[in-house]
Amino acid sequence: MENKVILITGASSGIGLSTAIQLMNKGYRVYAASRSGGENSTSKNGGEIISTKMNVNSEEEIKKVLDEILEQNGHLDAVISNAGNGIAGSIEDTSIEEAKYQFETNFFGAVRVIQACLPIFRKQGYGKIIATSSVAAIVPIPFQAFYSASKAALLIFMQALDMETKPFGIQCSTILPGDTKTNFTSARKYTAASQSTESVYYEKMKKAVGKMEKDEQNGMPADAIGKAIVKQIVHKSMKAIVVPGFQYQAICWLFNRLPVKFRLKVVSMLY
């Protein structure tokens, strides 16, 4: 395992950091990328975490990190695109600029990193690509529509990517976490117009987001999501879509089989 090299984005905390630690403990060399960087560490079996500063919205920084990885190792076995953020507010109270901000990291940031890795994987004749989407890609969340939309776009992108790159020995997998207890909750931003008490959506938006935040803080631990990601890295053949936790597997299965009007009514009642 000590020769396996992994790049993971959004690795400064939460799911990303937990995944990096678990991979290190299995003997992998993990390049843990984030905007802020972090601490390097090693495990007894020779695994290590190499903290790397990289903004997924900067093609220059992505290229620099990948060049360093190849110079130091000669290969890259897998990339885990995990960086993301969240905004809250009604659709009417969200400006186009704010919507673009949401997609910039959650979708286009992932696309930039993955596109930069593809030539490396094609040349090698192998490589694994994992992206962290969300159950919100299947179940739309009111007052977080652009978050749901960005994660849905990533899910579809990954499935198309799988078909395009399979002939080159590249595998793709999308992880769909449900409510997860991380600092993602406290980092969520509200759109400017949504914070005005004059907004007709204000009270309902606050109630819905408050319910979501409570669910998140009582949700699955980041370690459980990290374990699901590591399982795909370790296994020879990855699953195309992974939903950690039986509860969320059941929700996704049921949601896709209920009549649209009924399932939207149920979600609306919850929030």
What residue has token string 């509860």? 247
Q: Which of 133, 134, 150, 194 is catalytic?
A: 133
User: Residue 154 CB: number of other CB atoms within 10 A?
Assistant: 27
Q: How far is Cα 152 from Cα 133, in angstroms, rounded to an integer?
A: 7
Contact predicate 130/81, CB 8 Å = yes
Please say whether the dihedral angle defined by the alpha carbons of residues 68, 70, 74 and 80, taken in this order, is positive or negative: positive
Q: Provide the H-helix boundaries in 74-144.
A: 96-103, 110-124
Q: Which of 31, 148, 151, 201 is catalytic?
A: 151
Based on the number of CB atoms within 10 Å of its own CB, is 190 exposed (0-12), middle (13-18) or buried (19 or more)?
A: middle
Confirm whether 147 is a catalytic residue. Answer: yes
- The CA distances from residue 271 to 71, 145, 152, in Å, are 50, 13, 20
Confirm whether 26 is a catalytic residue. Answer: no
Q: Which of 34, 90, 134, 147 is catalytic?
A: 147
Q: Which of 4, 12, 150, 248 is catalytic?
A: 12
The structure tokens listed for 140 are 């739309």
Confirm whether 34 is a catalytic residue. Answer: no
Confirm whether 150 is a catalytic residue. Answer: no
Residues assigned a catalytic role: 12, 133, 147, 151
